[in-house]
Amino acid sequence: MRFFWVVVVAFLPFAALLAFPYIAQLLGLSQSGAPELDDVFKIHSGISQRIVPVCYQPGREPPAYDFTLVDQFNKTFTLSSVWSRPVVITFAYTYCPDVCPYINLVLNATLPALRGVVVVEVSLDPERDTPTRLFHYSQGNRYNWTFVTGPADVLEKVWRAYGVTRVVQQGYIAHDVLFVVVREGKVLGVVKGLPKPDDLARYIQKIINRDC
């Protein structure tokens, strides 16, 4: 009997290794278990089926909504303190199982082409996206931009001001995917949908250059 348990214990690490790919896929930990981007577009409400870049004509830009929230370092962040430079605002949440990871991957790949641009990611999940959670999420993924969160009533005003639709069902948040370009208190343009990194960089640069 003792020999039997020795064999069982010795075999457990190998069994775990064999089972890991299947467990990881079920938990969404493996790349192979990640949803395909086309599938995400089909199942996630609020996402444009086509990419829609909008560039407002100079002199006709809507005013940008200023806000004060808390960043991943638990410090106060005010939008107007950075909008002397171009700012790209997007919206996501750290517990998002499908679209948000793609938003962040695209942003991360786009940043090298957007020198001097400030990126601000506004949380859609104030209950769970605490500053500590945002810190670990951004550091763990090596996302080098500003993540902000705050009270639900303050965030709701930000979402509404920038045209973000948010629907919550059983902890899942369906939302619009967009990138708002702001500078000097004005909304210069918006990219709706989730383009490839090269395309997103090109759209944003055209908006910043006022090539409308």
156-177: pLDDT as tens digits: 999 999 999 888 888 888 888 9
Q: Which two tokens stand for residue 207?
A: 């908006």
Q: Which of 181, 174, 169, 171 is nearest to 211 (CA)?
A: 181
Q: What is the pLDDT of residues 14-36, one digit of tens each?
A: 333 333 333 333 333 333 333 44
Q: Is the pLDDT of residue 147 over 80?
A: yes
Q: What's the rounded Cα separation, in Å, for the pair 161 and 181?
A: 13
HEC string of 157-204 equals HHHHHCCCCEEEECCEEEECCEEEEEECCEEEEEEECCCCHHHHHHHH
Q: What is the pLDDT of residues 49-94, one digit of tens each?
A: 478 899 999 999 999 999 999 999 999 999 999 999 999 999 999 9
Evaluate whether 189 touches 212 at the Cβ level (below 8 Å).
Answer: yes
**pTM of structure:** 0.77
Q: Which residues are annotated as a binding site?
A: 96, 100, 175
Q: Which residues are annotated as a binding site for Cu cation?
A: 96, 100, 175
Percent of all residues in the chain with a pLDDT value above 70, rounded to a whole number: 76
Q: Which domains does the chain have, with CATH numbers?
A: 2-33 (no CATH), 37-208 (3.40.30.10)
